Amino acid sequence: MPDDKPLRIIHCFRSPVGGIFRHVRDLAEQHAKAGHQVGIVCDSSTGGAHEDRLFEQIMPHLSLGLVRLPIRRSISPSDLAALRRCYNEIKSLRPDVLHGHGAKGGALARVIGSVLRVKRYRVARFYSPHGGSLHFDPAKLSGRGVFALERLFEHMTDGLLFVCGYEQGVYQAKVGTPRCPSAMVYNGISEGDFGRIEKRSDGADFLYVGMLRDLKGPDVFIDAFARTERAVGRPLRAMVVGDGPDRDKYDKMMTESGLGLRIGLLPAMPVRDAFAMSDIVVIPSRAESMPYIVLEALAAGKAVIATRVGGIPEVLGQDSDALVTPGDAEDLSRAMTRAITDPAWQAATMPKAEDFHARFSASAMASGILQFYEKALAAA
């Protein structure tokens, strides 16, 4: 494809929350600024006022528009109706690139792209797992079924894009060596994300910000917070910021543990507003791919304590003292105690700012992905 011809790019994903949504927003903005036309197709039943504001911010970059329709998380008969509606919407946009994110988005993009190719549309089909189906256990029947589908979908895929080396390795271990072109391009954040955010005068000692569900580990954070208070011998304060299906459970857990007055619970908000609440961000996930919250927190000058999962060690360093065992509240408390009691801990433990900036920029991410698109289209 000629270098000067703008591409028509459609991103398909299910839930407009969390890291996938952030990834797509950054790509849309960067590629639109580079002169390409971009659109989004995603679920209409998830997200709230915060996500609505994020859509408003990205709309000026979506020359191909925003299409929202019901897309269920689990496989169900309603998928056929969603597939039909997505096909009709996408067909009218005549994309050059269909990029599916997450398991459901990847399935929709590749099936629809394959049907369009049968009808002689020239469209390239891409898939980024973002963790998703890769979290399944290959020893279980459900996992074997999911990985068999992933293998089957490779025949409908012009390119696999992984956001970190960990994700690439897990795919190879659970699904197999890709039988289509693949590449690893790190997640990146925009220049506006870089710059220290000072802690508010009424801020807390620790901050959890993210989805409120067990996979992300808020329960481990609450347990570790109580252990850290005992270790330092004084009351501490923490904030939990986010929305999710297990919110009420965590609220009850804090109340029953006598922590309700020392751990605040607030709904999702712009992450930079949340970062003003504390200088120490705790990410206690049981599983991740390459979470943006790690990149955002480091760019804001925060100390990060995180579990040794997914691509997080690729950011913090494989031997970082800030990495803890997933699901282990005692190990998490150890790192939290050190961070709150040792003034030199952050400077000695966090990545150097200049090295971090050079490696994890949105412009580098968008450029690498665009080159992969163009290579696949040239081979089509």
Specify the pTM: 0.81
Strand order, beta sheet including 206-209: 263-266, 238-241, 206-209, 280-283, 303-307, 323-324
Torsion of Cα atoms, 304 then 307 then 310 then 315, to 10°: 30
Same CATH fold assignment for domains 8-188+361-379 and 192-359: yes
Compute the average pLDDT of residues 72-88: 78
What is the percent of the chain with per-residue pLDDT over 70, rounded to a whole number? 98
Letter string b/e over residues 94-106, b meaning 16 or more CB atoms within 10 A of that residue's CB:
ebbbbbbbbbbbb
What is the tens place of the pLDDT at every residue in 150-208?
A: 999 999 999 999 999 999 999 999 999 999 999 999 999 988 999 999 999 999 999 99
Amino acid making up residue 71: I
pLDDT at site 371: 94
**Alpha-carbon gap, residue 30 to 363, rounded angstroms:** 7
**Alpha-carbon gap, residue 208 to 210, rounded angstroms:** 7
**Alpha-carbon gap, residue 307 to 165, rounded angstroms:** 17
Cα–Cα nearest to 150, from 176, 119, 181, 130: 176
Helix axes 141-153 and 102-118, enclosed angle (nearest 10)? 40
Helix ranges (H only) for the chain are 18-33, 49-58, 78-93, 102-118, 141-153, 165-174, 218-232, 247-256, 271-275, 292-299, 312-316, 329-341, 345-349, 353-359, 362-379
Lowest mean pLDDT among 8-22, 159-173, 193-207, 258-272: 8-22
User: By the 8 A CB rule, do 219 and 250 touch?
Assistant: yes
More confident residue, 19 or 229: 229
What is the tens place of the pLDDT at every residue in 283-302?
A: 999 988 888 899 999 999 99
pLDDT at site 49: 84
Element (H, E) at 240: strand 238-241
342: pLDDT strictly greater than 90: yes
More confident residue, 299 or 15: 299
359: pLDDT strictly greater than 80: yes
State whether CATH 3.40.50.2000 applies to domain 8-188+361-379. Answer: yes
Lowest mean pLDDT among 5-9, 60-64, 76-80: 76-80
Compute the average pLDDT of residues 334-342: 98
4: pLDDT strictly greater than 80: no
**How close are the terminal C-alpha atoms of the chain, in Å?**
10
pLDDT at site 3: 55
Neighbours of 236 (CB within 10 A): 18
Which of the four pLDDT bands, split at 50, 70 and 90, describes residue 2?
Answer: very low
pLDDT at site 76: 65
For the chain, the domains span 8-188+361-379, 192-359
What is the percent of the chain with per-residue pLDDT over 90, rounded to a whole number? 76
Residues in contact with 308: Cβ distance below 8 Å, sequence separation at least 6, in sequence order: 323, 324, 325, 326
pLDDT at site 133: 86
Cα–Cα nearest to 368, from 185, 125, 96: 185
Helix axes 247-256 and 218-232, enclosed angle (nearest 10)? 20
User: By the 8 A CB rule, do 106 and 127 touch?
Assistant: yes
User: What is the domain class of 192-359 according to CATH?
Assistant: alpha beta
Please give the structure tokens belonging to residue 339.
Answer: 């961070």
Q: Taking all residues of the chain, what is their mean pLDDT, rounded to a whole number?
A: 92
Amino acid making up residue 290: M
Neighbours of 205 (CB within 10 A): 22
**Alpha-carbon gap, residue 253 to 371, rounded angstroms:** 48
